[in-house]
Amino acid sequence: MGDGVGAKVERLRELRVRRARLDAEELALLAEIATAVDDDRGVAEELTPVLRVSTREVERRIDAGRSVTGRMPRLLAAMRAGEVESYGARRVLSVTGPLDDDAARTVDALLAERLVEAPETAWQPGNLAQRARRLVEKVDPGGQAERARTARAERRVELTPGEHVMSSLEAQLPAEIAAACYSRVDGMARSLRRNGDSRTLDQLRADVTADLLLGRDPGVTPSEAAAMVYLHVPADTALTISDQGCELDGYGPIPAAIAREIMTNQRSTWRAVLCDPGTGEPLDLGRTRRRPSATIRELVRVRDRKCVMPWCHRPARHCDHDHEQAWAAAGDTSVANGGPRCRRHHRLKHDPRWSARYDPVHGTTRVTTPHGTAYTAHRETVLTPKPGRHRPTVVGVLSHRGNPGHRGRPTSFRAEPARHTTDPEPHHDSGPPL
């Protein structure tokens, strides 16, 4: 390795040491703040825009800060010495998490002893976690079964948006169940491959998995959505006049060509939403009862697309329908007084320490945290506003509901401003609680 490259490698080492020390400082500071305020949920919300990560990630960092300062001080010292960054430390903390404080401190001390003369590779996160795992079993051999039961009780499924109109669906399952699931999917994929299917094994495994979850014949054709999703497609884009304005609910902008492919899926059903081209917003509906109709609820979801809190990206279809001006305070049940709030932020709205106000008409959210920091966010319109235009435009909202009786290209998509294209009759649904 030449001198120039060698110097750059040493520079990388210095950067890693500096990053580890900064990680240690951040975790220690988070632990101090959380202890001083004694409100983990409120602190996490307030620090979300400060750290510019998700609220869940802030909560993870607070938990890590408390654990590393209170239960594993030797691990924190290693971070301050530049030996291990936050990721490696959190791998160790996930292993020691189920232990009581005394057992965790014992593991911390033993791990530090074993790392004194260990090679540099021992500090890699995977190797650190493996060493910690062995020490946990040594310090608390009788708790192995309980730790496994605790971990199994936390099984879950997570959806993570990716790039290029792709997302990851991850299931945390008991090891033997996950292995059996993969074995079945792999076997079905290989059988299709042997029978002449031209898709790769990776493609087949993905398609078979999706088909099994969606209740279809696995692997017969490439998977298509049949569950409830929303796809926003302007009329001119649907008719190939334009390639702008397509958005998949809960994901974001997608290419027009991909949107039209989804649109022409035989299982697709359409609803048209009348929009004002001057503002780009869906037109309002009113109601005189507290519980919103499915039409009002759906228009609010179409308009806002996600929770109204500036740093929350939970899709509106998974949020509560909230009266911005309370029904008890003479607030009406309408699109102009409704907004989607995830359950967490719905509750936070009523916390007297917070001021979280949303203006549904202008799409403006104003938040003031308990310690006085103010944030303002503006809703993105469904369509790009076109000044000077006053006639309503129709935006197609594609709802995949698994409609096997529907065949061919949808025909209910029409830009006819003279006709009201939302549901003519209000109807009730259970929906999320108000």
Window from 52-56, 178-182, 292-296, 357-361 with minimum mean pLDDT:
292-296
**Hey, CA dihedral for 39, 40, 42, 43, is it positive or negative?**
positive
Grouping H, G, I as helix, E, B as strand and the rest as coil, residue 241 is coil
Q: With 90 as the cut, is the pLDDT of residue 12 above it? A: yes
- pLDDT at position 47 is 95
Query: Per residue in 31-61, pLDDT tens?
Result: 999 999 988 888 999 999 999 999 999 999 9
Q: With 90 as the cut, is the pLDDT of residue 202 above it? A: yes
Window from 3-7, 243-247, 414-418 with minimum mean pLDDT:
414-418
- pLDDT at position 145 is 82
Confidence of residue 114 (pLDDT cuts 50, 70, 90): very high
- pLDDT at position 362 is 86
Q: Tell me how far apart the alpha carbons of residues 43 and 35 are, in angstroms, rounded to a whole number.
A: 10
Query: Per residue in 147-169, pLDDT tens?
Result: 888 888 999 999 888 889 899 99
- pLDDT at position 116 is 92
Query: Per residue in 136-147, pLDDT tens?
Result: 999 998 888 888
CA nearest 249: which of 320, 161, 187? 161
List the Cα angle 228/233/236 in 5-degree steps: 155
> Which H or E run contains 376?
strand 374-378
Window from 43-57, 78-92, 195-209, 227-241 with minimum mean pLDDT:
227-241
Confidence of residue 227 (pLDDT cuts 50, 70, 90): very low
Where do the H-state alpha helices sit in 154-245?
A: 175-194, 201-214, 235-238
- pLDDT at position 388 is 61
Between 141 and 423, where is the model more confident?
A: 141
Going from N- to C-terminal start, the domains of the chain cover 3-153, 157-214, 225-434
- pLDDT at position 336 is 82
List the Cα angle 26/31/36 in 5-degree steps: 125
- pLDDT at position 412 is 31
Q: With 70 as the cut, is the pLDDT of residue 324 above it? A: yes
| 163, burial (CB in 10 Å: exposed 0-12, middle 13-18, buried 19+) | exposed
Mean pLDDT computed over every residue of the chain: 80
Q: Summarize the confidence of residues 337-353 as an average pLDDT.
A: 90
101 in Cβ contact with 70 (< 8 Å): yes
Between 381 and 304, where is the model more confident?
A: 304
- pLDDT at position 218 is 78
List the Cα angle 18/23/26 in 5-degree steps: 125
Q: Summarize the confidence of residues 357-383 as an average pLDDT.
A: 87
Q: With 80 as the cut, is the pLDDT of residue 399 above it? A: no
Window from 100-109, 257-266, 351-360 with minimum mean pLDDT:
257-266
Between 406 and 390, where is the model more confident?
A: 390
Q: Which of 117-126, 261-270, 316-325 has the highest mean pLDDT?
A: 117-126
What does the buried/exposed string (b/e) look like for 405-425 if buried means 16 or more CB atoms within 10 Å of the residue's CB? eeeeebeebebeeeeebbeee
Between 286 and 131, where is the model more confident?
A: 131
Whether this prediction's pTM lies above 0.85 is answered by no
- pLDDT at position 387 is 64
Q: With 50 as the cut, is the pLDDT of residue 5 above it? A: yes
Q: Summarize the confidence of residues 66-72 as an average pLDDT.
A: 97
Q: Tell me how far apart the alpha carbons of residues 212 and 181 are, in angstroms, rounded to a whole number.
A: 11
Q: Tell me how far apart the alpha carbons of residues 325 and 340 are, in angstroms, rounded to a whole number.
A: 13
Beta strand 230-234 with 247-248 is antiparallel
Between 401 and 393, where is the model more confident?
A: 393
Q: Summarize the confidence of residues 109-136 as an average pLDDT.
A: 93
Confidence of residue 271 (pLDDT cuts 50, 70, 90): low
CA nearest 302: which of 201, 401, 229? 229
